[in-house]
Amino acid sequence: MKNNIHTVLGANGAIGRSVIEELQNRNLPYKSVTRSLVNRGKTDLQVNLLNQVGANKAIAGSAYVYLCIGLPYRTEVWQSQWEIVMQNVIEACSIYNSKLIFLDNMYMYASPLPVPFDENTEQQPVSEKGKARKRTADLMVKAISDRKIKGLIGRSSDFYGEAAVNSPFYISFLERMLRGKNPQTLSRTDIKHTYANVSDNGRALVKLALCKECYGQVWHLPVGEPITANEMIELFNNELGVDYKIGVMPTIFRKFLSVFIKPLKEMEEVRYQFESEYMMSYDKFKKMFPDFIITPYAEGVKNMVEWFKKNEARKSNL
């Protein structure tokens, strides 16, 4: 009998978890892989993908491999580690004839972004993180073109939802609100932006993986309608029964603090995505899967709030 195991690399992350949930819903066999020793779900393997032996061990026996890992949000880490991870995963997928499904982001596109932007948008990254991600994706595109592996890329917009500890709507909004503090943002609150729900991302990646015609291509994953931060805060307020207003950090103060606060400095180079309209098109996916249902923002926020209220004490281990 042909092996049909789905292996999820980065199983403790928000998207990895959602992929596993979808595999469970479909009764598909899966293997979860993490790097951290702290695990809050089923983990079959704990490996370091920076090591070829570790990547081989994780991917051995897999028909499908979902690369959903998240590296620390630091430029030097992305520059030094992303390409190594991708090279090791490609090599392992080649050895075991595994199909690779890569969760990518939007950082490689040029700025300013066209409205809307799609998979054919020019790739001229303006940030160092974007350049690192483009080099990483290019490695996979070349491996596919050279017929070394079969694979596809699913690109996600900024996401929110259950377990999404790196979402701007957790870091700047919900985490603060649960502690009785006003939400904050570094950018304008009236700019339209498209966001992806983690559950939608997981379902979409599995759909793509199971679609023979989808391989060898880049796909934008589904997003909700464009929405502003002001509109999103109302959804969080309604769910929590509060009436917070968003605080916007003044530009001069933000730039001053970014000299001393590393996370602020890391955000500066990609803040352009929140300074003008950001409308990601997923028409290509929609045409392939016209019956795919997007999670409404109100429902997604409700699920996110419920999850973090329940898991606040242990979210730091995710």
3 state SS of 121: coil
pLDDT, averaged in runs of 10, over the chain (318 residues): 84 96 97 75 82 97 97 94 98 98 95 94 94 98 98 97 93 92 88 97 98 98 96 97 87 52 59 82 98 98 96 57
Q: Domain locations in the chain?
A: 6-159+195-224+280-294
Distance CA 299, CA 28 (A): 26
Distance CA 155, CA 205 (A): 10
Distance CA 263, CA 34 (A): 24
CATH H superfamily, domain 6-159+195-224+280-294:
NAD(P)-binding Rossmann-like Domain (3.40.50.720)
Q: What is the pLDDT of residue 263?
A: 56
Q: What is the pLDDT of residue 35?
A: 86
Number of neighbouring beta carbons within 10 Å of residue 293: 9
Are β-strands 99-104 and 151-155 bridged in parallel, bridged antiparallel, or unpaired? Answer: parallel
- Neighbouring residues of 220: CB distance < 8 A, sequence distance ≥ 6: 118, 119, 154, 155, 157, 280, 281, 282, 284, 285
Q: What is the pLDDT of residue 262?
A: 54
Distance CA 153, CA 133 (A): 12
Distance CA 296, CA 212 (A): 29
- 182: tokens are 């006003």
Q: What is the pLDDT of residue 186?
A: 76
Q: What is the pLDDT of residue 286?
A: 98
Q: What is the pLDDT of residue 1?
A: 35
Reduced to 3 DSSP states, what percent helix, strand and coil does the chain have, rounded to the nearest 5? 45, 15, 40
